[in-house]
Amino acid sequence: METKKEVIILVDDNPANLRAGKNVLSLQYSVFTAPSAEKMFSLLENNKPDLILLDIEMPEMNGYEAIKILKDRPETRDIPVIFVTGKTETDDELEGLNLGAVDYITKPFQPSLLLKRIEVHLLVQAQQRELQYYNDNLRKAFSTYVSGDVVQDVMSDPSRLQLGGAKRSMTAVFTDIQGFASFAEKMDPEDLVRLLNIYLTAMSDILLEQKGTIDKYNGDAIMAFFGAPLDIPDHALRACCSAVLMKKKEKELNAYFLEKGRSPDPLFTRIGINSGNMIVGNMGSERKMNYTIMGHAVNLASRLEGVNKQYGTQILAAEKTIQETGNKLLCRRLDRVRVVGVNTPVQLYEILDIAGAAPAETVQLAKLFNAALEIFEGRDWTAAESAFEGVLNIAPQDRPTQLFRDRSAAFRQKPPEGDWDGVFNLNEK
């Protein structure tokens, strides 16, 4: 099979130079000639050469002007350009190289020298294309597992790919599908995998679009974080917005799965979020490592995901996260609790929506609930029970309201001890 020849465009306003140049080059290369820069650009509309030999002194548009245009255009900026010119001053050569030429050859020249220079630059160009091909494939492979930011970070500075971590202020996000084990028992394995891949892809896309990094998947669960490898000042807000968007996407997926008959029951995702100082970096061994996070703040985010079960909530966040988001979320405050494995009390917040985007009934629910909670915290149990009953009038299925209504009724019958600090101990993960 005949090897395809590389393509060269030779640009010179002197017909004799074009003929001589083509005679020298045609034995090894496929050659197009252009008597002007304008003709060269016409050729480029339908041809992508491997190299351009460009004269400088030409009427209408000179070589310096032409190379500026070549380097400004995305489709031609990577084509190597060699100036072949009668301008022999050092300043002329420097100007040509500064404009992006890969070489500068003065007339008259030895044909063997010209051919060798072309051979070298075409070899360099081929190696650059091969390197770009491998880099693109490497980037694509890594992007399947980590965010594009991590890939870019490592490729721009490979020395960072080493064991160890650094402390950073970040936000961790944990998700889990409620009752997934029993859900999975109702489906064929192949159908379950297809459904799970659709779900995880949709959730992951939201996290990545908000500049999150996906740490790992554990069956139906996702662990992600915001604030590394790139420093993101609003990492807490991005994490919370991701959670809200994920829940909205889940509603769309449930409708789709129901319509297609792909799911025996609706999916219900629980999400836990916490912000604080975390260790982030490459953890593992010399042979296998993961870019991951660890620390007390990470563990608390995981615990909060599980605490949703006890409150019937969807998205729980700790107070520090809410403080860092300003007034950009619609939330309701719940209990101060001690979760399993964490001695310091944590103020719980349920994130209901993004401020300004919530339906009127959700805004009203948050307003009435927060007002009832203040009465509860004032330990007027009768009034608190009545206030939570009022909330149930507009949201009769709201689990947190039911919990606080029942708790108020119980405290009305048997108040807590006088030295009770208002903190509830949660004994389940």
pLDDT value of position 192? 92
Return the higher-pLDDT residue of 203 and 425.
Answer: 203
Write down the mean pLDDT value for the chain: 91
Q: What is the rounded distance in angstroms from the CA atom of residue 418 to the CA atom of residue 51?
A: 86
Q: Average pLDDT in the 207-212 region?
A: 91
Whether the pLDDT of residue 160 is over 60: the answer is no
- C-alpha span between 277 and 295 (Å, rounded): 8
Q: Is 36 left (phi over 0), alpha (psi -120 to 50) or beta?
A: beta
Whether 240 has a pLDDT exceeding 90, the answer reads: yes
- What is the rounded average pLDDT of the residues 183-193? 90
pLDDT interval class at 159 (50, 70, 90) = low
- The pLDDT tens digits of the residues spanning 255-268 come to 999 888 888 899 99
Please confirm whether the linkage preceding 108 is cis (ω < 30° from 0). Answer: yes
pLDDT at 307: 96
Q: What is the pLDDT of residue 145?
A: 55
Dihedral (Cα; 374, 377, 380, 384), 10-degree rounding: 50
**Phi/psi at 329 (5° precision):** -125, 150
Residues in the chain: 429
What confidence tens digit (pLDDT) does each residue in 294-341 have? 999 999 999 999 999 999 999 999 999 999 999 999 999 999 999 887
Mean pLDDT of 13-34: 94
Distance CA 138, CA 135 (A): 5
Contact 227, 212 (CB under 8 A): no
Cα–Cα distance, 296 to 82 (Å, whole number)? 60
Conformation bin of residue 333: beta by default, left when phi > 0, alpha when psi is -120 to 50? beta
pTM listed for this prediction: 0.71
Residue 144: pLDDT band with limits 50, 70, 90: low
Rounded CA separation 16/310 (Å): 88
For residues 54-69, give the mean pLDDT: 94
Average pLDDT value for residue range 229-244:
94
Q: How confident is the model at residue 161 (pLDDT cuts 50, 70, 90)?
A: low
The string of pLDDT tens digits covering residues 392-419 is 999 999 999 999 999 999 999 999 988 8
Query: Which residue did the predictor score with more confidence, 149 or 122?
Result: 122
What's the CA gap between 58 and 66, in Å, rounded? 10
> Are 267 and 141 a contacting pair, CB within 8 Å?
no
Residue 74 pLDDT exceeds 90: yes
pLDDT at residue 137 in the model = 78
Nearest to 34 by CA among 24, 21, 26: 21
Which domains are present in the chain?
7-143 (3.40.50.2300), 165-326 (3.30.70.1230)
The three state secondary structure string of the chain is CCCCCCEEEEECCCHHHHHHHHHHHCCCCEEEEECCHHHHHHHHCCCCCCEEEECCCCCCCCHHHHHHHHHHCCCCCCCCEEEEECCCCHHHHHHHHHCCCCEEEECCCCHHHHHHHHHHHHHHHHHHHHHHHHHHHHHHHHHCCCCHHHHHHHHHCHHHCCEEEEEEEEEEEEEEECCHHHHHHCCCHHHHHHHHHHHHHHHHHHHHHCCCEEEEEECCEEEEEECCCCCCCCHHHHHHHHHHHHHHHHHHHHHHHHHHCCCCCCCCEEEEEEEEEEEEEEEECCCCEEEEEECHHHHHHHHHHHHHHHHCCCEEEEHHHHHHCCCCEEEEEEEEEECCCCCCCEEEEEEEEECCCCCHHHHHHHHHHHHHHHHHHCCCHHHHHHHHHHHHHHCCCCHHHHHHHHHHHHHHHCCCCCCCCCEEECCCC
